[in-house]
Amino acid sequence: MCSIDFSALIQGYLLYLSPSPCLALLHNRQYGFEINDFREFLAIGDKYKEISSLKRFVIAPAVEQINTNTDFNIDISFRKCKREIRWIQLRFNQKQEAKAKCKARTIQNQAAKQNRLIEEQKQANQASEQQTAIDWENVPVGTIYHDKTGKQWQKEVSGFLHCSEGNASIPPDQIGKALASGALIRKDVPTPQNAKSGLSDEAKSHIRAEIAKKMVDNPATFSPDMAARLY
């Protein structure tokens, strides 16, 4: 025989609850009370002293309400001692349709969690790309990157990341995404002292051409220090 106790604040109301965590805890479990303890549990005092009255006016209506209005069915049984009913047993069983709903909710919650993780990862990637784009402005000209095929990429004065072998370039507004993805790995970080040696002849020629174009198009934005590092 198992006995359980509930706070006096909810005694008299438990059996009338709608679907709730309280009833969920009783799923497929059987509990037994001595009749006197059961009366005290329901806070009915000296009312319904006869077991027949207790069954008719208390137990039967409660069972009907639980079975009709909740996700559980309750079975009631009694045990006698010397021809006197001394114990009452309650068994709660979750309804099949409720089990199906519970399973559907579980699947729905798992899908929602997965979508939330995807969205969080997306936001994290965007933040990483934005920060990488900001950091790119401070990356020295001539810095070398290698892609997964082994091709070499270099940062140009224009801010582009250029690959001479593949004759391809990545514009500054796409640098954050390219580098944050890990597709390009930084291999060389030239300093002002070794920036000259870190550039290939082809890269130097390309940069000189850019500088010359800037001098023609907009001399005010041209910085002589920019060219000084190339010669």
pLDDT digits 0-9 by tens, 110-127: 999 999 999 999 999 899
pLDDT in tens, 5-60: 444 444 445 544 444 444 444 444 777 888 888 888 888 888 888 888 989 998 89
Q: pLDDT value at position 197?
A: 46
Q: pLDDT value at position 18?
A: 41
**Alpha carbon 69 to its chain's center:** 34
Q: pLDDT value at position 160?
A: 94
Q: pLDDT value at position 195?
A: 45
pLDDT in tens, 190-230: 444 444 445 556 666 666 666 666 666 665 555 555 545 44
Q: Which token pair is 6?
A: 């509930």
CATH number of 14-94: 1.10.10.10
Residue 153, pLDDT above cutoff 90: yes
Residue 148, pLDDT above cutoff 60: yes
Q: pLDDT value at position 30?
A: 73
Per-residue buried b or exposed e for 95-110, using 16+ beta carbons within 10 Å of the residue's own CB? eeebeeeeeeeeeeee
As a whole number of angstroms, the distance between CA 198 and CA 194 comes to 6
Q: pLDDT value at position 154?
A: 93
Q: pLDDT value at position 83?
A: 83
Cβ atoms of 176 and 136 closer than 8 Å: yes
Check residue 164 and report its DSSP letter.
T
Cβ atoms of 189 and 138 closer than 8 Å: no
Q: Which token pair is 5?
A: 């106790």
Helices 172-180 & 96-136, crossing angle to 10 degrees?
Answer: 130
What residues pair up with 172 in beta bridges, in sequence order?
none
Q: pLDDT value at position 131?
A: 92
Q: pLDDT value at position 46?
A: 82
Q: pLDDT value at position 93?
A: 87
Helix (H, G, I), strand (E, B) or coil at 160: coil
Q: How far is CA 22 from CA 109, 126, 208, in A?
A: 21, 43, 78
User: For the chain, which residues make up each domain, given as ranges?
Assistant: 14-94, 132-228
Residue 130, pLDDT above cutoff 50: yes
pLDDT in tens, 65-115: 988 888 888 888 888 888 888 898 888 888 888 888 888 888 999 999 999
Cβ atoms of 205 and 216 closer than 8 Å: no
